[in-house]
Amino acid sequence: MNAPRRDPGVQILHVPDCPLVERLRLLLEECMAEIGTNERVDVLVGDYPSPTLLIDGIDVASGEPIRDGASCRLDLPTRTQILGALTGGREGRRARRAD
């Protein structure tokens, strides 16, 4: 199992055969198209709360760092949460590069 990154980036974490991962992936793609970004999305399969969307190491649905252990999640992030995390994360990454 690969460890989720704590640095900037977009990651989808899920257990094998998660029935909700495709729904999350499609929503993420729609949000990325809406704001005009083609950022790389890393997909990690392993013992994670599934599915989880991390942006810059933070769980988009909870606003917290990722928790350990496999589990089935029903609290998928909303379109608003994803858009906010993508735009906030992107601006934060630009600011860090400028320093």
Instruction: Sketch out the chain's domains with CATH numbers.
Output: 10-98 (3.40.30)
Say which residue the tokens 């949460």 belong to: 81
Average pLDDT over residues 4-30: 89
Predicted confidence band of residue 66 (pLDDT cuts 50, 70, 90): confident
Question: What is the arithmetic mean of pLDDT over 13-37?
Answer: 96
Side-chain-side CA neighbours of 9 within 13 Å: the count stands at: 12
